[in-house]
Amino acid sequence: MNVTKIVKRLGKAGIKFTSGLNESEITEAESLYNIKFPPDLKSFLMYALPVSEGFVNWRDISEKNVKSINDRINWPLKGIIFDIEHNHFWIKEWGNIPDSLQDAIKIATLHYHKAPKLIPVYSHRYISSEPIENGNPIMSVYQTDIIYYGENLSSYLQKEFILKKPKDLDFNNIKPIRFWSNIIDNWDEEL
């Protein structure tokens, strides 16, 4: 990913930036939110920090912003619970769906907490914290309506902000992500 070129194009597209995070700010954010930035996201955030609406301001550690970021990090779990309660969502790998809604929520929550954390990038677009390597896909997450939105951070940013003519995703090039890819596949099987 050519971070310099992407930030320059994003700036021309109207995205506002401030100076990138330094190593201690990265470490503080990872500790504060119990996450680990994959290397490509870390490089992007260290080069320049996007501060336009919809992006996460990882530098702002005010109580209000920390709560907002934690809410965004926990939002996928809330969506899973909502769909279990209202849309009969269940993944067969979790076993038989319990008769009790509370038991179903406990099982789903247990599996969620074992899954790689999703890190908000922009709006309801997330990148997986694992594996800790370049090239994790970007997912659009709205409850369990989760789809791949970019093969990686670079392709996502170019697609979302129309930095170049969008192309269809090459699903053969999308790295499967433990737990999250199963949710995507679960809905695909039902169609």
pLDDT tens for each residue of 162-189: 766 656 788 888 999 999 999 998 754 5
**Confidence class for position 191, pLDDT limits 50, 70, 90:** very low
Buried/exposed 40-59: b ≥16 CB within 10 Å, e otherwise:
bbbebbbebbbeeeebbebb
Helices within 38-179 (DSSP H only): 39-47, 63-87, 101-114, 153-160
Q: What does the pLDDT read at residue 86? A: 97
Rounded Cα gap, residues 171 and 184, in angstroms = 12
Q: What rounded mean pLDDT belongs to the chain?
A: 93
At residue 60, does pLDDT exceed 80? yes
Mean pLDDT in residue range 154-165: 82
Q: Model confidence over 86-144: pLDDT tens digits? A: 999 999 999 999 999 999 999 999 999 999 999 999 999 999 999 999 999 999 999 99
CA distance 35 to 116: 9
Determine the Cα–Cα distance for residues 112 and 92; give it in Å rounded to an integer: 14
Q: Does domain 3-190 have CATH number 3.30.70?
A: no
Q: What average pLDDT score do residues 22-48 get?
A: 98
Q: 155 vs 40, 98, 173, 177, CA distance in Å?
A: 12, 40, 11, 17
> What span, in angstroms and rounded, lies between the C-alpha atoms of 47 and 56?
15
Band of pLDDT at residue 12, cut at 50, 70 and 90? very high
Where residue 76 falls among pLDDT bands split at 50, 70, 90?
very high
Phi, then psi, of 120 in degrees rounded to 5:
-65, 135
AA identity, residue 70: N
